[in-house]
């Protein structure tokens, strides 16, 4: 298996590190020469360059590890390089627009959307780690345009990364659920830090530190993600705000019974979410 | 140093475990005979019973590890047992009402409020761990009624527990800040689980798991804490809700510039909170 990775940021470079001793060849593209220099020096890729001409045309799998909008642009700008023997996948945190647009743009080439559920606070190639995906969830969003063979190949790739679970869902289901499980926790962390009280760093316990951990996000990537998934993000924010307003009401009116009962019910739901 | 611990739940029993080989004697009270049996069997305490008659009157420090309301009641019900040679402290998560009431009720006995910032999801004596306080923050809320000698003694006790930092603040400051750093993160975790989306357990990453971790709380204790600190909790909830509404507005109106700038500023605040 020969793998080409486009974009050597945190995710792309971590995939390269994880695959390089398990597949025949890992080559990489990045438009930042300094990133390419680091990638070669740290032997993250065998070789690479800034454009599609720098990599061999017989790459089996092309992995697009760019921001969502950049993925669509890259596909469009490089149409002449794609061929029918390749499988192209992306690893972006949103799926519907990317999958729909690219499957329409490239009817002769197979494209499959994926989302490895892993990340860390250090962005870019300097945050790359071979074990980033160990034990994580890996989502694939095949459509009727994908073959069983390609789906099997992507699952094989995910297992090489060391993921724990592989889940299949539609691109729309993915974007709806991700608004709840990822965009909302990140917005909560941001909102909590933004409500900062002077002197409070003296009195933090683990609950606070965990709650603010993911406030350290790349502002450009996440602004793009929040806006691109606006419809579902706004719906989830409304639900969360309604829950907080309900808690506020129960607390303000000293409603011991309903508050106790609500917390008890929430613990039952949480049992189901546990992994 | 002879230590008496009232209430052998998670915090009380963990303090006992942590101190038993470092002080002369650790005795314990609990109104649950099964808890007392476990405490004796696991050698968490040297001996104990269900009431003040079961423990020696020359205990130097009495640690009240009960729910906030129960602390005040216990002090009132057992007035005849307290003497001027003792230092009484509590470890509850709220300080102003307890400190004010008890210092008024027991003018001849020294009482000092503390709050060890540690906990875990398993409540009761079965969750007790010797290392629960290692590396944690320990808050003390002395008033003009406390002597320097007692403050020094409590700090010494905190260091025996292995805490990293000891901070002094007024009981009111404590309750105001704790609404932000503890009550709010717990309410956020509860609200997020309560907004549960069917199927979402397939698509959770670390951000979600961290965000819901503390939703597993003891509903009776936390209902009491939220209500007893109502004034500050409601203020903090209002601030958080306003932040979420602001994010919703920026996202709904596709405001890339302000959203990016807001996230950037939040990262700067977060740097200050880091421990």
Please determine, for residue A275, whether its predicted confidence score (pLDDT) is greater than 70: no
**What class has domain B2-169?**
alpha beta
pLDDT of residue A83: 86
The complex's ipTM?
A: 0.85
d(CA A156, CA A250): 50
User: CA of B172 to nearest chain A CA: how many angstroms apart?
Assistant: 13
User: CA of A20 to nearest chain B CA: how many angstroms apart?
Assistant: 25
The residue of chain B nearest to residue A249, with distances taken between CA atoms, is B234
Contacts of A194 in chain B (CB under 8 A): 243, 262, 265-266, 269
What 3-state DSSP class applies to A47? strand
Please determine, for residue A133, whether its predicted confidence score (pLDDT) is greater than 80: yes
Tell me which range, A39-48, A120-129, B54-63, B112-121, is most confidently predicted by mean pLDDT. A39-48
Determine whether the interchain pair B185/A211 forms a contact, defined as Cβ–Cβ distance below 8 Å. yes
Determine whether the interchain pair B165/A213 forms a contact, defined as Cβ–Cβ distance below 8 Å. no
Contacts of B174 in chain A (CB under 8 A): 203
Residue ranges per structural domain of chain B: 2-169, 174-273
Q: Which CATH architecture does the domain made up of B174-273 adopt?
A: Orthogonal Bundle (1.10)
pLDDT in tens, A171-229: 999 999 999 999 999 999 999 999 998 888 888 888 999 999 999 888 999 999 999 99
Report the predicted TM-score, pTM, of the whole model to 2 decimal places.
0.85
Please determine, for residue A107, whether its predicted confidence score (pLDDT) is greater than 90: no
Determine whether the interchain pair B185/A207 forms a contact, defined as Cβ–Cβ distance below 8 Å. yes
Best of B187, B210, B242 to mutate (most A CBs within 10 Å, chain A): B210
Sheet holding A25-29, edge to edge: A47-49, A25-29, A2-6, A61-64, A87-90, A110-117, A137-141, A165-168
The residue of chain A nearest to residue B224, with distances taken between CA atoms, is A256
**Most distant CA pair in chain A, distance:** 68
User: CA of B57 to nearest chain A CA: how many angstroms apart?
Assistant: 34
* C-alpha dist (Å) from residue B177 to A23, A271, B171: 53, 30, 10
Determine whether the interchain pair A244/B244 forms a contact, defined as Cβ–Cβ distance below 8 Å. yes
Q: In this prediction, what percent of chain B has a pLDDT beyond 70?
A: 100
Output b/e per residue, B68-107; b: 16+ Cβ within 10 A: bebbbebbeeeeebbeeebbbbbbbbbbbbbbeebbeebe
What 3-state DSSP class applies to A21? coil
Which range is least confidently modeled, A29-38, B5-14, B122-131? B122-131
Q: What rounded mean pLDDT belongs to chain B? A: 94
d(CA B49, CA B74): 15
Please give the structure tokens belonging to residue B116. Answer: 């060890």
Determine whether the interchain pair B254/A227 forms a contact, defined as Cβ–Cβ distance below 8 Å. yes
């Amino acid at each position: 298996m020969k793998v080409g990775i486009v974009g050597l940021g945190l995710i792309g470079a971590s995939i390269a590190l994880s695959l390089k001793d398990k597949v025949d060849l890992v080559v990489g593209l990045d438009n930042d020469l300094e990133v390419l220099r680091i990638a070669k020096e740290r032997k993250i890729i065998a070789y690479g360059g800034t454009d599609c001409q720098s990599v061999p045309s017989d790459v089996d799998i092309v992995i697009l590890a760019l921001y969502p909008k950049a993925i669509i642009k890259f596909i469009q700008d490089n149409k002449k390089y794609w061929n029918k023997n390749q499988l192209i996948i992306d690893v972006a945190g949103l799926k519907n627009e990317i999958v729909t647009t690219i499957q329409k743009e490239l009817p002769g080439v197979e494209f499959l959307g994926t989302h490895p559920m892993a990340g860390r606070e250090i962005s870019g190639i300097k945050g790359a780690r071979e074990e980033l995906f160990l034990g994580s969830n890996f989502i694939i969003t095949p459509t009727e345009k994908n073959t069983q063979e390609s789906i099997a190949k992507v699952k094989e790739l995910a297992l090489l990364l060391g993921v724990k679970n592989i889940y299949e869902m539609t691109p729309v289901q993915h974007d709806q659920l991700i608004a709840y499980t990822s965009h909302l926790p990140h917005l909560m962390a941001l909102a909590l830090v933004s409500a900062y009280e002077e002197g409070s760093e003296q009195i933090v316990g683990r609950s606070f530190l965990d709650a603010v951990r993911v406030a350290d996000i790349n502002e450009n990537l996440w602004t793009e993600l929040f806006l691109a998934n606006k419809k579902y993000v706004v719906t989830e924010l409304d639900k969360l705000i309604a829950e907080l307003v309900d808690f506020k009401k129960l607390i303000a009116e000293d409603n011991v019974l309903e508050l106790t009962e609500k917390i008890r019910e929430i613990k039952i739901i949480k049992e189901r979410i546990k992994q």
